[in-house]
Amino acid sequence: MDDLRKTGFQDRSKINMHEPHEVQYWTKHLGVSREQLQKVVDKVGNSAKAVRKELGHAQGDSAT
C-alpha cells in the first residue's frame, strides 16, 4: 500500500491515474484537466513520454 505522506514520484516516466497526488502533479505540469489526462492515458498508455507527445509537449519538457 502506498504511503500517502510520501508524495514524491518513484517513477516519473509513468503516470499513475490511481494516485491523486500524481494526477494533481501531472494535470498541473501538463496544463490539462483530469478528464483530458485520462483520455490521453487511455489512448496511449501511462508513459509520460507518450502522453507528452500526444499532447504536443516538447520531449525535453522537464518533469521536475
Q: Quick check: is 42 in a domain?
A: yes
Q: Is residue 31 part of a domain?
A: yes
44 within some domain = yes
Residue 47 lies in a domain: yes
C-alpha cell at 19: 494516485
Interatomic CA distance for residues 57 and 40, integer angstroms: 13
Q: Residue 10: inside a domain, yes or no?
A: no
38 domain-assigned = yes
Q: For residue 10, name the pLDDT band (cuts at 50, 70, 90).
A: low
Asked whether residue 60 is assigned to any structural domain, the reply reads no
Q: Which residues of 23-38 are buried (b: 16+ CB within 10 A; e: fewer)?
A: bebbbebbebeeeebe
Q: Please check whether residue 30 lies inside any domain of the structure.
A: yes
Total domains in the chain come to 1
pLDDT, mean over the chain: 83
- Its domain, for residue 41, covers 20-55
Write a three-state SS string for 10-63.
CCCCECCCCCHHHHHHHHHHHCCCHHHHHHHHHHHCCEHHHHHHHHCCCCCCCC
The answer to whether the predicted template modeling score (pTM) of the entire model surpasses 0.85 is no
